[in-house]
Homo-oligomer: A and B are copies of this chain.
């Protein structure tokens, strides 16, 4: 058990990210008390039922009262309104942070409502699964994943250092990044891949000549990796695309340009172009394995558990 880093932490929004934060904070004793609030009564009840947070409050204002750290864990589009709600209830000297996948837009929505004497340190933990909701969290989600801190102009260095200590205590590696650069990097590593995955899954579903059951039965050939990405929370992703519009559209433009070049190579039978392209992309995979951001086990090492799941079908 570490020394508590904050006496009281309030988590606003209780989905995958917040619930995983809670279990990781508990694991290492990083806070004296963790309060929680979610807009829906069902979520609050579920949270109480499974012991999520030390205390679930029926209003955001109640949850943030006396908190040294308030973390906004709501979809990006809800950050501004939530912040407006809690502004007057914040303890002087407290830090407000968030976990949004987009930073420029969140900063613009949240910063104007931050009271004098309260610190705002935006953050973005790069971790997730295809599951959502208060029951989907687990303490290991952030272990060895990256959390990006995006301090705004005038962010108090001490408040930044304390938040860094929290995320390191949770298990993450921490980096700092400028907001616009963050949004471009994430457009490449996350937002555009998600949009593409959603699109491919939509295409598959839409094809009447290829029945649903065929698409599902034969998904192991590559398609199922797209479906995992495309099973992520719809509200969260709608907000991400609407609020990181510019960078996403830019990367999408690059993507279709490249795709058309490969499409043309297929049409004209230019095997050399295809082979060169495919050889080049292999090296990137190698880099990710070496950086410890994925497993080298074949098929993500899921063969075993998948086989178990379907033991009755054979």
- B256 engages A146 (CB within 8 Å): no
- B314 engages A173 (CB within 8 Å): yes
Closest to A236 in B: B278
Interface size on A, as a range, is 35 or more
Binds B, one of A3-11, A112-120, A268-276: A268-276
- B277 engages A203 (CB within 8 Å): no
Task: Contacts A185-B210, A219-B293, A293-B310 known; list 15 others, CB within 8 Å.
Answer: A141-B303, A184-B209, A195-B259, A196-B196, A202-B258, A202-B277, A202-B281, A222-B229, A227-B288, A227-B294, A230-B278, A242-B266, A292-B310, A293-B306, A300-B300
- A185 engages B300 (CB within 8 Å): no
- A301 engages B302 (CB within 8 Å): yes
Binds B, one of A44-52, A53-61, A123-131: A123-131
Q: CB within 8 A of A284: which of B230, B238, B287? A: B230
Known: A299-B129, A302-B302, A306-B295. A222 touches B281 (CB 8 A): no
Residue A156 at the chain B interface, CB threshold 8 Å? no
Nearest CB of B to A177, in Å: 9
Binds B, one of A27-35, A62-70, A157-165, A247-255: A247-255
- B291 engages A217 (CB within 8 Å): yes
